[in-house]
Amino acid sequence: MCSLHVEEEAHLAAMGGNGTPKPSPRPRPHEAKITLFDICWEDVLIPHMATYLSLKDIFNLRCCSQTARCFAEASLEKRQELNLSGNNTSNIELGFKVVARCCRRLEVLHLACCKWLTDDLLLPLLTNNKHRLCAVNLNECVNITALSLQPIIVECKDLRILKLSKCQWLTTGAVDALTLHQSKLVEFDISHCGAIGERCLIIFFRKLNKLTVLSLAHTPSVTDQVLIQIGNYCRELEHINLMGCVAISDYGVHALTKTCPRLQSLMVQRCPLVTERVLAPLRGRVHLDRPSMGYNLPASQHHRLFLQV
């Protein structure tokens, strides 16, 4: 019995030293668990994770916690592209206000067909990003006015792409302002803009010697004289859309195509005064949106038709 008692004492001493089992270690109160947000935001999370999240993902993340909200808004601040084209979901204006407040480094802005967009919503976003924007797409934004163009025209010194198709609010005065401040555009779209005058366009295209893509579809003020100016000054032109420009004729199209050696595509559907006489020599060299009607002139006559240009 004595030996058994001695063995028990030795066993208890080995376990705890005082006859009680040693408890398992517990975390100290000040030792918090490490989370995703403990990883460096600036060097790791934002450049290597947030860039792969869609805008919807960022807003879903923003709802999770206060820390997630801070991270989401920090990610928006670094975002370089915003694409909401065609997004007309309910209450999108509320989300756009967050974007307008947080985004500070946008370079590309796509807002085509946003029926809800107004000057009051757009101007704060443009004010915060005007020095970096190089591409702006406002096609079919029918509820804004020329007021929203002011920061784009005056402050966006690196602007290269501007799309304003079906913006009936685009006036001659706005294009005159573009003429004064913007000369580096490589892509320009003013299709279906009926409030612009012929003289205004003639002066405007004299400054755009870097233009490569141009859309003037269904713009009634586009005439042969406008095409002649484009040909004289926009020698880098590669693609031009003249669909529905009913005032242009073979004369203007020939003047354009003979002085733009890099031209790759020409869209002239629904231009009744443009005929196969001027299109036939271009086939095989330039993509045309009109099929051949089987009208072919001898090569010797193609040159003779346009000696007066």
| CATH number for position 91 | 3.80.10.10
Q: Are residues 117 and 105 in the same domain?
A: yes
Q: Any residues with CB less than 8 A from the CB of 10 and at least 6 apart, and which?
A: none
Q: Are residues 157 and 240 in the same domain?
A: yes
Q: Are residues 69 and 185 in the same domain?
A: no
On whether residue 282 sits in a domain, the answer given is yes
pLDDT at residue 128 tops 80: yes
Q: Are residues 202 and 74 in the same domain?
A: no
Q: Which two tokens stand for residue 152?
A: 């784009």
Once rounded to an integer, what is the mean pLDDT over residues 92-115? 96
Q: Are residues 93 and 73 in the same domain?
A: no
Task: Tell me the whole-structure pTM to 2 decimals.
Answer: 0.82
Q: Are residues 110 and 65 in the same domain?
A: no
pLDDT at residue 31 tops 70: no
On whether residue 14 sits in a domain, the answer given is no
- Provide the domain count of the chain: 2
Q: Are residues 172 and 131 in the same domain?
A: yes
On whether residue 228 sits in a domain, the answer given is yes
Q: Are residues 201 and 62 in the same domain?
A: no
On whether residue 263 sits in a domain, the answer given is yes
Q: Which residues form the domain of 89?
A: 80-305
On whether residue 206 sits in a domain, the answer given is yes
In angstroms, the CA 159 to CA 149 distance is: 12
On whether residue 4 sits in a domain, the answer given is no
Once rounded to an integer, what is the mean pLDDT over residues 284-289? 95
What local confidence, expressed as pLDDT, does residue 47 receive? 85
pLDDT at residue 250 tops 60: yes
Q: Are residues 66 and 135 in the same domain?
A: no
* Burial class of residue 203 in the structure, from the number of CB atoms within 10 Å of its CB (0-12 exposed, 13-18 middle, 19+ buried): middle
On whether residue 21 sits in a domain, the answer given is no
